[in-house]
């Protein structure tokens, strides 16, 4: 099981800020996003353009080739705009 968090317009397009999914084992962030995009039209719309997305695994920014495993917390969001 992976805990997924979405923020800003990613959250709005998907329609929820948080969900959990079962994954068979370790996979890359890229593969995870591909899997998620198939869950609903909202997921597909939110995750279509990876250049506009950033991700974090267990509270650390992570690249698309980073590995994720059951038990991880993965967040997907637009580039940050704080400050």
Partner 1 sequence: MFEVRVTAEPFDSAHEQARLAALGPDVGALVGFTGLVRDHPLLIEHYPGMAERAIRRVLDEVCTRRALLGAIVIHRFGQLAVGEPIVLVMTAARHRAHAFAAAWQLMDYLKTEAPFWKKAPTGWVEARAADERARAAWTAR
Q: How far is 32 from 44, CA to CA, in rounded Å?
A: 13
In the bound state with partner 1, the residue whose beta carbon lies nearer, of 8 and 63, is 8
Question: At closest approach, how far in Å is the CB of 37 from partner 1?
Answer: 20
Q: Are 2 and 23 in contact (CB under 8 A)?
A: yes
In the bound state with partner 1, the residue whose beta carbon lies nearer, of 21 and 56, is 56
Burial letters 66-83, b for 16+ CB under 10 A, else e? bebeeebebbbbeeeeee
Alpha helical stretches, state H, 1-83: 8-14, 29-37, 41-47
Question: At closest approach, how far in Å is the CB of 24 from partner 1?
Answer: 26
**Site of interaction with partner 1 (CB under 8 A):** 5, 7-9, 56, 59, 61, 75, 77-83
Question: At closest approach, how far in Å is the CB of 50 from partner 1?
Answer: 15
In the bound state with partner 1, the residue whose beta carbon lies nearer, of 38 and 51, is 51
């Amino acid at each position: 099981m992976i805990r997924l968090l979405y923020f800003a317009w990613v959250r709005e397009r998907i329609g929820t800020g948080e969900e959990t999914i079962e994954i068979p084992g370790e996979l890359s962030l890229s593969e995870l996003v591909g899997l998620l995009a198939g869950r609903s039209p909202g997921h597909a719309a939110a995750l279509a353009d990876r250049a506009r997305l950033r991700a974090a695994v267990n509270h650390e920014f992570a690249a698309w080739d980073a590995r994720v495993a059951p038990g991880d917390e993965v967040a997907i969001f637009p580039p940050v705009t704080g400050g």
